[in-house]
Amino acid sequence: MFIKKLLTSLISSSLILLLLITPIKTYAANILDKFSELDNAGLLLINSQQQVLISSHADKSFIPASTTKLITAWLALKHWGENYHFRTLFYIDNSSNTLWVKGSGDPYLVSEEITRIAKNLKNLGLQKIDRIGLDTSFFQAQLRVSGAGRSDNPYDAIPSAIAANFNTLAIKKVHGKIYSVEPQTPVTAFARSLAHQVKSSDYRINTGQSSKNAERYFAELLREFLRQQGIEVGKKIIWGKSPQQKPYYSHSNSKNLGEMIRPMLKYSTNFIANQLVLTMSAENNQRPANFRDVQTYMETKLTQQFNWKNFTLKEGAGLSRENRISPQQLVQLLEDFKPWKHLLPEVETHVYAKSGTLNKVSTLAGYIVHNQQWQAFALMMNQSVPYKLRNRIARELVKLQN
């Protein structure tokens, strides 16, 4: 039978969870008994006093898939705070009349934000530049995310120190002509060349597997938006180090960190998640971002905070099948995540959570809300299961509280 545990004593600060077994209520038997028949699955639900309500294999490590983004969100909010704004620096090299952009890993430089940049540069008096220079030294070049594919789908967009529109573009072909699906985003030369390689007529794709192409796309968009402001801009794009001088302009993204994390959790945006962990590790280590440093950074921070053992985190989005974490560890993190619980989407009535999906992996972690109390839970299934079984289980967890 499936198991249920009601404890009267509080869990210690380190959340050492005693996993005792008792029968579950019969009215939840159908779906929860189905869960109990699984060979490779774990579940933990605690109440607002951190007492264990339901537990099954809670200390076993599983592939977390995109519930990894909860860990990334927690790390970022601890590191910067919810109201943090990413900055991108701009320099003018007067000797070559070059506008230099120094990338800082900002994950949210969308077309609307680049338009603001162009307007602000215009207001500062910029009238003409001969070329755009890109300083991308904040990230190592040609980064590869563990578990990521090489498709042209947006979820396989590569990370880069400077990126436009999450390193994706939305374009369509009509009678051989290329148009932007987004009215706010002009079609650049790179976008046009990429569109001709795709057979579909209406699509969103990533910028490819080359960080140079992603960075070039940003520069081309910036050039177009500068021209829209009446600034004369030459065609040349160069890479190198920005001048060691006071910035001509420091751009603060109009969105704060919380406003970036909310859509990352709702839409499970891999690009934002890995931009965040790469940027945190680069700031922490004071060297170009790379995924070896990411793993060390994530695992060290979590061990320091929670004294975790026997877990692995290769990247921040949940793409890697080498990632391992237990329901017990996720619930412990969720208890500390409560100040930012409002950033999670409501996936079922009274269930605010992040889901995760890979081949033979289905996970869900977040909170069951009962009597205005937020009860942390983590459900992890590492085998083939029926579609939306995780949501059906979550609904039963809600019923158990009534």
Q: Which two tokens stand for residue 220?
A: 């081309």
- Per-residue 3-state assignment (H helix, E strand, C coil) for the chain: CCECCCCCCCCCCCCCCCCCCCECCHHHHHHHHHHHCCCCEEEEEECCCCCEEEEECCCCCECCHHHHHHHHHHHHHHHHCCCCCCEEEEEEECCCCEEEEECCCCCCCCHHHHHHHHHHHHHCCCCEEEEEEEECCCECCCCCCCCCCCCCCHHHCCCCCCCCHHHEEEEEEECCEEEECCCCCCCCHHHHHHHCCCCCCEEEEECCCCHHHHHHHHHHHHHHHHHHCCCEEEEEEEECCCCCCCCCEEEECCCCHHHHHHHHHHHCCHHHHHHHHHHHHHHHHCCCECHHHHHHHHHHHHHHHHCCCCCECCCCCCCCCCCEECHHHHHHHHHHHHHHHHHCCEEECCEEEEEEEECCEEEEEEEEEECCEEEEEEEEECCCCCCCHHHHHHHHHHHHCC
Of 60, 20, 71, 42, give the one whose Cα is nearest residue 274.
71
Instruction: Determine the pLDDT at residue 53.
Output: 94
Instruction: Give the integer Cα–Cα distance in Å for 99 and 113.
Output: 17
| Residue 11 or 30, more confident | 30
Residue indicated by tokens 């990894």:
68
Classified by CATH at the fold level, domain 87-254 comes out as D-tyrosyl-trna(Tyr) Deacylase; Chain: A; (3.50.80)
Does 26-80+261-400 carry CATH code 3.40.710.10? yes
Q: Tell me how many degrees the CA angle 390-395-401 measures, rounded to the nearest 5.
A: 130
For 363-391, the pLDDT digits (tens) are: 999 999 999 999 999 999 999 999 899 99
Q: Where are the domains of the chain?
A: 26-80+261-400, 87-254
For 243-296, the pLDDT digits (tens) are: 999 999 999 999 999 999 999 999 999 999 999 999 999 999 999 999 999 999
Q: Are the beta carbons of 336 and 255 closer than 8 angstroms?
A: no
For 91-115, the pLDDT digits (tens) are: 999 999 999 999 999 999 999 999 9
Q: Are the beta carbons of 110 and 119 closer than 8 angstroms?
A: no
Instruction: Determine the pLDDT at residue 197.
Output: 81
For 146-178, the pLDDT digits (tens) are: 999 999 999 999 999 999 999 999 988 888 889
For 71-84, the pLDDT digits (tens) are: 999 999 999 999 99
Q: Are the beta carbons of 248 and 143 closer than 8 angstroms?
A: no
Residue indicated by tokens 């949940």:
318
Classify residue 100 as exposed, middle or buried by CB count within 10 Å of its CB (0-12, 13-18, 19+): buried
Asked if pLDDT for residue 226 goes beyond 50, the answer is: yes
Instruction: Determine the pLDDT at residue 201.
Output: 66
Instruction: Give the integer Cα–Cα distance in Å for 144 and 152.
Output: 14
Q: Are the beta carbons of 119 and 229 closer than 8 angstroms?
A: yes
Asked if pLDDT for residue 125 goes beyond 90, the answer is: yes
Local confidence band at 25 (pLDDT 50, 70, 90 cut-offs): very low
Local confidence band at 202 (pLDDT 50, 70, 90 cut-offs): low
